Amino acid sequence: MQSADLKVFLEVAETLSMGRAAETLHTVQSAVTTRIRKLEDELGHTLFQRHARGVVLTPAGERLLPYARQVTTLLVEARQAVTDEADPQGSMVLGSLETTAALRLGPMMARFSMAYPKVDLTLRTGTTAELLAQVLRQELEGAFVCGPVAHPHLIADPVLTEELVLVAAPGTTGLDFLTNARQVRILVLRRGCSYRQRLEELLTRRGAAVVRVLEYGTFDAILACVSAAMGVTLLPRALLERCVPKYDVACIPLPGHEGRADTVFVRRTQSYVSTALSAFLQTVKADTHQDVARAAE
């Protein structure tokens, strides 16, 4: 069994298509099919069940999948360890929630880039669920997500705490309207957004019935619709302080833990930490300490 065969197997398993795997691997479909058949002959088991729309993993393929991922990860990290230099350099791809990127990461990334100009830092935004999946698939070296995060293959380091507020139509005061309302519409980002999940839990605890979930692509669109009394949403107060002058909405404080959202930086356990990532984590730690000191003054 060759590592190249496992790489092809992994790509087919993730795309569930011989054709799409061939495109990603920059080869032809017949070459991918030949590799898979060779691997199946060597192992003595069929790894994929073919059908008109593509392929699905067989039970044998499902058993092989985690080992193929592990081998591929180790090979990538082995190359990274050999080529890594003491002076941080090269590319580094991280992830972040859109709110964290907009509110917190600008100054931090600017300081890091000035201190380590040889590092090409790329930041991808997404929901907590999307970012966790990308870290696990090794598409990101780490990501800023909403905690808590409990996963056997991830390390989660606390970074900061945001205050959350319920955002409602102009003139709304207090949370009583949630308890009395038979129908509540929530305006949220796509599924996997941590604020969406927390809002749904908040409404459930108060006995409010969510009759419609309206999904939007941006926070601006959400706030514009809240201002028009189309529903409610849940966002960090710091974001609202920037947007309230633009949108006429009511910001309602939440009690206790409901009004707290911990942001954590997640990375894979037992993975190689490059000098670039190590330097970035030191920058994050220094910024966090400075924020704590300013808050105590």
* Beta partners for residue 210, in sequence order: 184
Q: What are phi and psi of 268, to 5 degrees?
A: -75, 145
pLDDT attached to residue 103: 86
pLDDT attached to residue 293: 41
Q: What is the DSSP string of 181-218?
A: -S-EEEEE-STT-HHHHHHHHHHHHTT--EEEEEE-SS
Q: According to CATH, where is 3.40.190.290 located in the chain? A: 85-297
Closest CA to 262 of 140, 94, 147, 99: 147
Tokens at residue 288, please? 């966090």
DSSP letter at 206?
Answer: T
List per-residue pLDDT tens for the chain, 297 residues long: 788 888 899 899 989 999 999 998 899 999 999 999 999 999 999 999 988 888 999 999 999 998 888 787 777 767 766 666 678 888 899 999 988 998 888 888 999 999 999 999 999 999 999 999 999 888 899 999 998 899 998 999 999 899 999 999 998 888 888 776 667 889 998 877 888 888 988 888 888 777 788 998 888 899 999 999 999 999 999 888 876 567 889 999 999 889 999 999 999 987 778 888 989 999 888 876 555 444 444
Indicate the SS3 state at residue 146. strand
> How many Cα atoms occupy the beta-carbon half-sphere of 34 within 13 Å?
5
Closest CA to 88 of 277, 281, 287: 277
Q: State the fold for domain 85-297.
A: D-Maltodextrin-Binding Protein; domain 2 (3.40.190)
pLDDT attached to residue 291: 53
Domain 3-83, CATH: 1.10.10.10
Q: According to CATH, where is 1.10.10.10 located in the chain? A: 3-83
Peptide bond into 148 cis (omega under 30): yes
Cα 90-96-97 angle, rounded to 5 deg: 165
pLDDT attached to residue 74: 77
**CA–CA distance, 286 with 56 (Å, rounded to integer):** 47
All residues at 6 or more sequence positions from 30 whose CB lies less than 8 Å from its CB, including other chains: none
